[in-house]
Structures are given as structure tokens and as C-alpha cells.
Amino acid sequence: MKIDLEIDLELVREIQKSEKKKGIKLLNKIINSKYRIFLPSLKKTLKLYQESWDEINKEFFEVTKKITSYSWRYTTYFCVLSPFHTGISSWGGNKIIRS
């Protein structure tokens, strides 16, 4: 078992030079493969995230509102787990993405 960045870089080069349909087909294959590998871990992580937020959620939102004097824009926020993004936020939206 090893980590080989060069294999990933070669894949990127292959996608870049391929025809659009072929590139999309290859990306779909990669994405589906990665989800098959990581889905059990993502499901477990999602459960643990939810449990930890359930413990502090109400207090967190109340204290944050009190400290900042700003109301929360949305009543519900979503954490979307992804094997591709280490962390992004939809500024102005109610979603964040974590890996």
C-alpha cells in the first residue's frame, strides 16, 4: 500500500487532454469509485457529527447570537460530507462541506 501523487497527476493530465464526453465519463467513474470506497466512513462520520452537534447545537446558536448581536439567517444549516473537499462554505447559504 502506498500513496502516489504521480498516479493522480497522470489521471488529471489524461482528463485534461481527453474529449469532453470521455473526460466526463472518466470523472464519473472516479467519483463513483471514490464514493464506494469512502461511503461507509462517510456514513459513520455523519452519524458522529450529528451526535456531537445535537449535544451543543441549541446553546451554540444562542451564545453566538448573543455574542455577535446578529440573528442566524437560516433556521437550519447542513453539513455535507465529501471525500473531495476538505472544507468549503457556500457564503450566504446554509451549507458547509467537510471531508
C-alpha separations of 99 from 13, 14, 27, 81, 89 in Å: 24, 25, 19, 5, 12
Residue 69 has pLDDT above 70, yes or no: yes
Q: Are 31 and 25 in contact (CB under 8 A)?
A: no
Residue 17 has pLDDT above 80, yes or no: no
Domain count, the chain: 1
Residue range of the domain that includes 93: 5-98
Q: Are 79 and 96 in contact (CB under 8 A)?
A: yes
Mean pLDDT across 62-87: 85
Mean pLDDT across 10-21: 75
| Per-residue pLDDT at 7 | 64
Give the C-alpha separation, 99 to 84, whole Å.
7
Give pTM, 2 decimals.
0.62
For 35, the grid coordinates are 464514493
pLDDT confidence band for 3 (50 / 70 / 90):
low
